[in-house]
Amino acid sequence: MVYLTQGGFWLNLATVIGSFSSLALVYVFGNYLSPEIYGNYRYILSVYGLLTVITLTGFNAAVTRSVAKDNEGDMVRGLKIQILSSLFGSMVAFGASSYYLINSNITLATGLMIIGLVLPLMEPLDIYNSLLNGRRLFKISSLVSIAVQILVTIILITTVLLGGHIIPLLLAYFISYTGLRLLFFIIIKRTYQKNHQTSPDLIKTGFNFSVINILSNISGQIDKIILFQLAGAKELAMFSFAIAPAEQLKGLFKNLSSLLLPKFTTRNEKDLRKNLNKKVMLVGISALLISLAYIIFAPFLIKLFLPKYTDIILMSQIFSLSLVGVMVIPINSAMNSIPKIKALYVSNILSPVVNIIMVITLIPLFGLWGAILARAFGRIINIIGTYLVFEVVKD
């Protein structure tokens, strides 16, 4: 409990500041950008998110697990592997950029060109957090996160207020994140890496975790991509603003994984199971109470901060109930720390597949509402599926 309290304070501080930064961006984007520009901006970021599956993001968790066992040299090994794999993502981005250029869509062609250039560095460089989390340096991790969030927010808001054109906005987003991550990677490596030991299990574990994450990453972006293609930029802008409050509230729980994974790694499965259900229920009840509070205040908040988007009030309230989906975080942390590879494979295949099926079914039928319901139902189903997989599937 002391461990969670001490580590949680700094991580939650970073999350709170990050949430305020994100809400500031939501206000500026919602009031100073047209729905069409913001919708295109969100679409390009979604394509970037989709392409990150090629960067083998599972190595972040693998490095955290390895560093927790004093193998800190695995940070650089993980970085090199991610950079090499991300080059394939860049090739895909350049190919898609050429397609849009041939079809005279300069905005999307330029956006995808930018993605292709930054992808090999922007995502892999974030691996410095794996070193900090593995060593439980949550204060340092949080301070770095706060600095990045504040600086990027200032840069993006300034870019919007200076004109709000989409290409400068994309350049501001990708260059600021890439540059800051490069800076902090160098600083953290020189300051906090205390040995160069490596683990023989890193590559196997990293590839396993990466493959496991592929469908989850796809399902996290596919609704925005399909909604943009079928309904257009304006509908995607409305969807993004409708889910933004609940997504920010979900961020209050995202640090649980960083806190639990290093701690769980030092325990055997029998010890983990003793209090796991209690942790799951505590997280679920907390999420439900936060969701109910949001439902009460949502009409006032949206009318105050997003007066052009009052049509999203009801769908935002309904979507907020999906916040209880964070109940799976302790279970996933337990499966990653043991690790229960078969259970992770099943869990990370079943839930995304169900979500993808709902997305490709509901969005063509119901448009914006279909996107909201598909994502909400997917998270509820994920709770049941993850728990059953953890209990039933054996390695």
Summarize pLDDT for 186-212 with one digit per residue, the tens: 999 999 999 999 989 899 989 888 887
Identity of the residue numbered 281: M
- Measure the CA–CA gap between 151 and 90, rounded to whole angstroms: 26
pLDDT at 4 over 60: no
**Would you state the pLDDT for residue 2?**
46
CA distances to 20, 110, 328, 377 from 98, in Å = 37, 9, 40, 36
Whole-model pTM: value is 0.87
pLDDT band at 158 (very low <50, low <70, confident <90, very high): very high
pLDDT digits (tens, 9 = 90+) for 290-314: 999 999 999 999 999 999 999 999 9
- Measure the CA–CA gap between 304 and 183, rounded to whole angstroms: 38
Average pLDDT, the chain: 89
Question: Residues 119, 55: contact at Cβ < 8 Å?
Answer: yes
pLDDT at 239 over 90: yes
- Measure the CA–CA gap between 326 and 305, rounded to whole angstroms: 26
* End-to-end Cα spacing for the chain: 30
Q: Describe the crossing of helices 233-250 and 269-305 by its angle, rounded to 10 degrees.
A: 130
3-state secondary structure of 253: helix
Instruction: Identify the domain containing residue 361 by its residue range.
Output: 2-392
Q: Pick from 274, 393, 265: which is nearest to 337 by CA?
A: 265
Burial (0-12, 13-18, 19+ Cβ within 10 Å), 200:
exposed
| Domain count across the chain | 1
For residues 382 and 180, the model is more confident at 180
Identity of the residue numbered 372: I
**Would you state the pLDDT for residue 227?**
97
Residues in the chain: 395
pLDDT digits (tens, 9 = 90+) for 316-343: 999 999 999 898 888 888 887 777 778 8
pLDDT band at 265 (very low <50, low <70, confident <90, very high): low
For residues 98 and 283, the model is more confident at 98
- Measure the CA–CA gap between 336 and 391, rounded to whole angstroms: 14
The DSSP result for 144-210, as a single string, is HHHHHHHHHHHHHHHHHHTT--HHHHHHHHHHHHHHHHHHHHHHHHHHH-------TTHHHHHHHHH
